[in-house]
Structure formats: C-alpha cells, structure tokens
Amino acid sequence: MNIFKNETARRPLLRGILMLLWIGLGVVIFFACRGHTLLVDNQKASDGSYQAIKVMNVTIDQQDDEEIWEGDRIRLTVSGPNHKILVEFTDGRQPVEKEFHLPLKEDMYLLSVPKMLAGLDFIEPFRVQDQVRETQDEAAANEFESFGP
C-alpha cells in the first residue's frame, strides 16, 4: 500500500508536515527577530580605569545616529542577536566600528562605549532591581558615613 496514493492517509500526513513547518517557522522568527532594549552608556568608571568621551555620535545597525555627551545614557531598541556599533568622535579621532552579540535570555542590556574603547567586556545584562538595590546600598553607606567623626 502506497501512502501517497491513499487519499485518507495522505491528508493527515500533509497536515502534520504543514504543522511542523509552521512551528519551525515560528521558532526561527522568534530567535532571529527577538527584540532587546539596549542602553548605550557614556559614563566613566568609578575607579578611574576608563574615562567617558566628551561628545560622540553612535550608530547601531544603521539606525539614526545619536549624539551622546559625557555622563549620558540613551535607550535604543534592537532586534536579532547580532549587531554592529559605529562610534564617531567629534574631536577628529578615527571612527570605531565593532560587532557584538546579545544573548537571548535577557530583555535589557547595557553597552558601555568607554569600556569598549578600553578593550574591556562592554556588554552586561541590565536589571532594574539590581540598580535600585545598588542605589539603596549607596544611600545607606552615605548615611552611615555622615555619622562618622
């Protein structure tokens, strides 16, 4: 018995194949088009290991360029796992272009341009809870220091 000649056996088989193709397409689209919020940061290190840039223009994935001043942080939305950043300086230095990869597991990432220029690991997950906790810890430390001699 040939399954392709039997109408009653062929129809469920074709429906199953079509369903698997739809599921596969959904998985591919999810991984290829997953959106992330990217915070592009231009702040100096608290320990002085790298300095912020006075003024620069940043372009990510051929989106509109953004002007970022020293101490600023901007928010961009990107989709997909692989991206390219172009940093153009206003002081005449050569532009810097770098490719980076955003993992799937987090929704928001912090990209530090000064860290990137210093050759350090420049992408880290950004969690609001961690930032609130750090701010509260800093406030508690400052309050404790104000009672000192």
Q: What is the dihedral of CA 110, 113, 119, 123, to 10 degrees?
A: 10
SS3 category, 79: strand
Looking at the structure, tell me whether residues 15 and 61 fall in a common domain.
Answer: no
Closest CA to 46 of 114, 109, 111, 110: 114
pLDDT value for 90 = 87
Looking at the structure, tell me whether residues 15 and 44 fall in a common domain.
Answer: no
Looking at the structure, tell me whether residues 48 and 106 fall in a common domain.
Answer: yes
Looking at the structure, tell me whether residues 57 and 99 fall in a common domain.
Answer: yes
Q: Which domain holds residue 24?
A: 1-33
Looking at the structure, tell me whether residues 29 and 40 fall in a common domain.
Answer: no
Round to whole Å and give the CA distance between 28 and 20. Answer: 12
Looking at the structure, tell me whether residues 28 and 39 fall in a common domain.
Answer: no
> Contact 126/38 with Cβ under 8 angstroms?
no
Neighbours of 126 (CB within 10 A): 18
> Which residues neighbour 79 within 8 Å (Cβ) at sequence distance 6 or greater?
33, 34, 35, 36
The kind and range of the H/E element at 14 are helix 7-33
From first to last of its 149 residues, the chain has per-residue pLDDT tens of: 566 667 777 888 888 999 999 999 998 888 788 888 999 999 998 888 889 999 999 999 988 889 999 999 999 999 888 999 999 998 888 999 999 999 888 889 999 999 999 988 999 999 877 666 666 666 666 665 555 45
For residue 58, give the CATH number of its domain: 2.60.40
Looking at the structure, tell me whether residues 52 and 124 fall in a common domain.
Answer: yes
The tokens of 92 are what?
């005449």
Please give the model's pTM, rounded to 2 decimal places. Answer: 0.70
Round to whole Å and give the CA distance between 108 and 36. Answer: 6
Closest CA to 122 of 149, 101, 143, 92: 101
